[in-house]
A and B are shown apart, each in its own frame.
Chain A
Amino acid sequence: MALDIKHTFDENTFRHSINGHGFVLHCHHYMSLTTKLAEDFADLGAVRVLAEAAEDSLRPVLESYVKEHGITGPADRLAVACEYYSFMGLGKMTASGSAAGGEVQLPHSHVDEGWIQKWGKHDKPINHFTRGFVAAMFAVAFDKPARSFEVAETASLVMGAPLSVLSVKAA
């Protein structure tokens, strides 16, 4: 499935939009350091904040796309989210599941591979961004409100696994 992407550039503000949402380019240093910041302030709940920020900011992007394109089937909606994930440079994703939960696999991950490039392997999973993204994609796929799915990373590229695996359960 190829995404229908409309990229616009505002000649006045010099801002970029993709399918009507403001977008910006950044790099793996920024993402890795933001992830590290969340880890460093974990005692304040910053890891949760990072995952929820991803869930809340990506959901409108996915939701507007499937609605505008009349995509109603959960499997098709999950496929759209996988395509968006790659379009945004975040890696390669496959997903399957039901309203009760499912599984997501990442043979490639910007968050993990960026972390490895910057600091090397790590002793625990760090892909909090993608946990939030996956919560959003399942909520959109099954027409559920925010925080309807709990996502846990059960295998991780950053720890040396051949692929990252995220387990999804209805909350």
Chain B
Amino acid sequence: MTVMRDQVVRQLVQVEAKANDDGLIPGFNVLVNQLPCSFWNTVSERMMAITPPDRKAAMEAALVNCAYECGYHTGYGIITSPEFESVVMPMVTEGAKDVLRGAYAVFTAWGWAKSGIVQIKEGEAMTIRAVDYYEADSGGEGRRAYMIRGVSAAFMELAYAAPYPNGMNTFKSEQTRGIEAGDQFGEFAVTKK
């Protein structure tokens, strides 16, 4: 047995993100928020729109970094959580590769992208494919799934870089296809820096 994404997703969507009496949602070692997808898309779209050509690369890198750091810390919280232990770990038979598959199942369950690993060279490189993702709805030009890019590099580091919290800046991620750019699916290539 290996991690069955859809099975994991269906169990994890039952886990409700419920605020406490302070209006906060502590979980997975972070404070969780649940916001309209349109907010995050509007932010990235308008940030890119106000940026002059000579600073576009810096803005793009900053948008990716927001998700990268989020993915690293929250990802660690996810794969060490009781929910992950009870739902995903019983299916893990292939070590780090399966933990990574489980992380993408959670990624999917949280509504980030209907995605999964299509190719992996353990500790070296990974290709992610997403057949649906909310960033595909954003306006703008070119490939702009900054969130999936950032989180993908982070997840690879959690699986194959130095143990948390010392594994950052080991992998990088590029988007090679995008629904928002006219492709049938989004694709993301994660490689060593």
> A and B from one assembly?
yes
Chain A contact residues, CB within 8 Å of chain B: 7, 9, 13-16, 18, 21-31, 33-34, 37-38, 40-41, 44-46, 49-50, 52-54, 56-58, 60-61, 85-93, 107-108, 110, 113-114, 117
Q: Is the CB of B32 within 8 A of A85?
A: no
Q: What 0/1 pattern do residues 65 to 82 of B give for CB contact below 8 A with A?
A: 111011001100000000
CB < 8 Å: which of B22, B30, B47 contacts A108? B22
Q: Is the CB of A53 within 8 A of B108?
A: no
CB < 8 Å: which of B23, B73, B114 contacts A91? B23
Given the complex, which residues of B lie within 8 Å of A30, measured CB to CB? Answer: 66-67, 70, 74
Given the complex, which residues of A lie within 8 Å of B109, measured CB to CB? Answer: 14
Q: Is the CB of B33 within 8 A of A27?
A: yes
Q: Is the CB of B31 within 8 A of A24?
A: no
Q: Is the CB of A86 within 8 A of B23?
A: yes
Q: Is the CB of A40 within 8 A of B51?
A: no
Given the complex, which residues of B lie within 8 Å of A9, measured CB to CB? Answer: 13
Query: How many A-B contacts are there with CB distance less than 8 Å?
Result: 161
Q: Is the CB of B62 within 8 A of A92?
A: no
5 pairs of residues in contact across A and B, judged by CB atoms under 8 Å: A13-B132, A16-B111, A23-B111, A25-B111, A30-B67
CB < 8 Å: which of A14, A45, A57, A93 contacts B23? A93
Given contacts A13-B132, A22-B37, A25-B110, 16 further A-B contacts (CB under 8 A): A9-B13, A15-B37, A15-B132, A22-B36, A24-B34, A24-B134, A25-B34, A27-B28, A30-B70, A44-B51, A49-B43, A85-B23, A89-B19, A89-B23, A114-B31, A117-B31
Assembled-state Cα–Cα distance A9/B182 (Å): 25
Say how far B35's CB is from chain A's closest CB, in angstroms. Answer: 6
Chain B interface category by residue count: 35 or more
Question: Of all chain A residues, which has the CB nearest B28?
Answer: A27
Known contacts A110-B33, A114-B31; A57 and B114 CB within 8 A of each other? no
Q: Which of A92, A107, A117 has the most CB of B within 10 A?
A: A92
Known contacts A24-B40, A37-B66, A61-B36; A49 and B51 CB within 8 A of each other? no
Given the complex, which residues of B lie within 8 Å of A52, measured CB to CB? Answer: 46
Q: Is the CB of A26 within 8 A of B33?
A: yes
Q: Is the CB of A113 within 8 A of B24?
A: yes
Given the complex, which residues of A lie within 8 Å of B33, measured CB to CB? Answer: 25-28, 31, 88-90, 110
Q: Is the CB of B50 within 8 A of A45?
A: yes
Q: What 0/1 pattern do residues 54 to 69 of B give for CB contact below 8 A with A?
A: 0100010011011101
Q: Is the CB of B24 within 8 A of A14?
A: no
Say how far A24's CB is from chain B's closest CB, in angstroms. Answer: 4
Q: Is the CB of B34 within 8 A of A88?
A: yes
Given the complex, which residues of A lie within 8 Å of B16, measured CB to CB? Answer: 7
Q: Is the CB of A89 within 8 A of B43?
A: no
Given the complex, which residues of A lie within 8 Å of B69, measured CB to CB? Answer: 29, 33
Given the complex, which residues of B lie within 8 Å of A49, measured CB to CB? Answer: 43, 46-47, 50
